[in-house]
Amino acid sequence: MIKPSSPTPDHLRTYQLSFIDQIQPPTFMPLIMFYPKEDDASNVEQCNRIKKSLSEVLCVYYPLAGRIKDNAFVDCNDEGVLFVEAKANCHLSDILENPNPNDHNKLIVLELDDANELPFMAQVTYLECGGLVLFLGMSHKIGDALSFFTFLDCWAAFARGDTDIITPIFDSATLFPSRDVSGFQPRTGITKEKLVVRRFVFDASAIAAIRNIYTDSKSIDARPPTRVEALSAFIWCRFIAATQEKLDQTKLYTVIHATNLRTRMDPPLTNHHFGNISRPAIAVTSMDKEDGFYDIISQIREGIRKLNAEYVKQLQDTDGHLNFIKTRAASFMKGEVVSFSFTSLCRFPVYVADFGGESRFGLALVA
């Protein structure tokens, strides 16, 4: 365990979960980073720098060193972050030149759905070539992807010896007060059966061609689709074509995009507001067009537009969203809903984390 370098003050020992935290699944958000051998430091020295800076950053992000209790709060008891060191009989080139997403699961500490009370975990794997692999997992019960990356950036700043540290704002439970969520199971939809992991690479020319396909000059909103919109539409249509031989008109077909709420609030929040301050934008797709286009781009945009300041206000003040997700979860378990979820990291500060050593070769997600 890696514990904070100094104890958490008594008045910060309890961190209240927000309503959005409460309804998140108890799963780890995974990230793997690959580092080559440093010329002036061994991989053990690299690891020691990572551990020392982790101990320091946990004084700032103190809830990550505690334990989640009763889906209600974090006991900030400084118990520490699970940190594992391992060795792999391979070279960095073996992993990066022929990447196989299924192999990435060998580089993680725990099953991704085994978060339970643990807010954060990490593993360093030493490679024969002198490089190392750093796996990180943050529980979705305590924060969203943006919170994950702002924590990672702060951690890297400590590793570099920076003194200009931006302190996170822990007020999500004030923004979205906790509720009685009895009757809702956050684990709904989590399964380990028939899981398949695939990696598809779209180069710039392929993305441009797909964007052109989904550009509809006749639409009221005639803006060309973004890369995320175009790829989402393309993948969704291929998914439907491959899995839904005959569309069932009694089922609800939805496309879901994780969406940051910070910029949609009034007034907007900074990126340093920690917690789950995001919700899924849900597009209910119409399935009646013969050309396979399904008007999906405009429906995705409409779903995102609905996540506005008024939506946030209702999320804060009413039980409407809780009742909605209870009903939708029940429909999902009955097989009445066909959903496809997308998460884009395009605008996240994914590549800015510099731990003060050699440049990172790449990163990967785990399923």
Q: Given this model, what pLDDT does residue 102 score?
A: 80
Q: What is the pLDDT of residues 45-57, one digit of tens each?
A: 888 999 999 999 9
Asked about 103 being catalytic, the answer comes back as: no
Q: Which of 104, 140, 257, 321 is catalytic?
A: 140
Q: Given this model, what pLDDT does residue 360 score?
A: 54
φ, ψ of residue 339 in degrees (nearest 5):
-115, 150
Burial 133-164 (b: 16+ CB within 10 A, else e): bbbbbbbbbbbbbbbbbbbbbbbbbbbeeeee
Please tell me the distance from the alpha carbon of residue 238 to that of residue 246, in angstroms, as a whole number: 14
Asked about 140 being catalytic, the answer comes back as: yes
Q: At 269, list the tokens.
A: 């929040």
Contact 206, 234 (CB under 8 A): no
* Arithmetic mean of pLDDT over the chain: 87
Q: Given this model, what pLDDT does residue 358 score?
A: 52
**Residues ≥6 apart with Cβ < 8 Å to 25:** 113, 140, 141, 186, 187, 189, 190
Contact 233, 297 (CB under 8 A): yes
Q: Indicate the pTM of the whole model.
A: 0.90
Task: Supply angle C-alpha 4, 146, 47, rounded to 5.
Answer: 40
Enter the DSSP assignment of 8: P
Instruction: For the chain, list residues with pLDDT below 50.
Output: 291
Q: Given this model, what pLDDT does residue 363 score?
A: 58
Q: Which of 75, 78, 113, 354 is catalytic?
A: 354
